Structure 1
Amino acid sequence: MKRIILVLSAVMIAFSLFAQSSDPIVGKWENSSKEGRVEIFKRGDKYFGKLYWIKDSSKKDEKNPDKSLRDRKIEGLEILKNFTKKGNTYEGGEIYDPKSGKTYSCKMTPKGDKLEVRGFVGVSLLGRTEVFTRIK
């Protein structure tokens, strides 16, 4: 009986490691200023990210272009939406910047324990990259 439990445990760990390696973007990340943390997850065949912690948890979405949303808290917002995996890059999605209230096209590229997040308007050349660090 112990042997069966041991084998099942090993199989579950192997599947868990395989799932993580096939989706290296999934997990918790901290932005470069260390003011916010995002949890990236898969929903269906797309990837999303929720701002699960910010330094000032009382901060509101005051810059949102939709006036009816300006009273909501920033902490808990889904700021990354609709990314698709293409090779080692996740693209076709959007990132919402609560500091400016603007939404940008975005692509993300994992590089080990770092995640390059590039927001842009139009083409990727016209944008800015921020590097997130994986939270262990």
Structure 2
Amino acid sequence: MFIRRCPLWFVVLLFFLLGAKADQPADRIIGRWQFPSKGSSVDIYRQGGLYFARVAEVDQAGEQNFGLMKDSLLIRDLRFDGEVWAGGRLIHPKTGISLSAEVEMSRPQVINVTIYKGIKLLHRKFIMTRQEKH
């Protein structure tokens, strides 16, 4: 009965706001994140229901040691399961090896990225920090 009395624009706005609020926990990961060396960074963004990481800035060490290239896609297809962003794939820029990727937010300004091939027991973990906006 309430919906019949409300103008259509109000109902559409209400559904939009409720839908946007549902995405907020997963969207906390969106932004620019710096690698531990602080010289290179990635932009994490959402496309549909999946999250991706594209290289934003590259320092000399990132280019030489890891083969990072500006604007290249580093991580693809992360899905938020309510606690972590999992199921993603990282393509190592230097070797081309495909690795599983998982991201966990330990604090609003810190994410733990875990990459592994095959079983998670044999993994590499690194911490990235949110880059402040200037």
TM-score (norm 1): 0.70
Normalising by structure 2, report the TM-score. 0.71
2:35 is equivalent to residue 40 of structure 1: no
Indicate the percent of aligned positions where both proteins have the same amino acid.
24
Q: What SS does the aligned partner of 2:90 have?
A: strand
Q: Which residue does 1:79 correspond to in 2?
A: 74
**DSSP-derived class of the 1:35 partner:** coil
User: Following the alignment from structure 1 to structure 2, what is the Cα–Cα distance between the partners of residues 22 and 46?
Assistant: 10
Is contact 2:104-2:111 (8 Å) kept? yes
Aligned counterpart, 1:6: none
* Residue 125 (structure 1) aligned with residue 124 (structure 2): no
Give distance in 1, aligned partners of 2:44 and 2:76: 10
Task: Say how many residue pairs are matched.
Answer: 111
Q: Give unmatched runs, 5+ long, in structure 2.
A: 1-16
> Which one has a larger percent helix, Structure 1 or Structure 2?
2
| Counterpart contact for 1:20–1:26, Cα < 8 Å | no
Q: Give the structure 1 partner of residue 27 of structure 2.
A: 23
Tell me the SS of whatever aligns to 2:60: coil
Matched ranges for 1:1-136 at <5 A: 21-56=25-60, 59=63, 74-112=69-107, 113-136=109-132
Counterpart residue identity of residue 102, structure 1: I
Deviates more, 1:26-35 or 1:39-48: 26-35
CA RMSD of aligned residues (A): 2.7
Deviation at 1:75, TM superposition (A): 1.0
User: How much has 1:122 moved relative to structure 2?
Assistant: 1.1
User: Residue 33 of structure 1 aligns to a residue in which SS?
Assistant: coil
Q: Which runs of 5+ in 1 are unaligned?
A: 1-13, 64-72
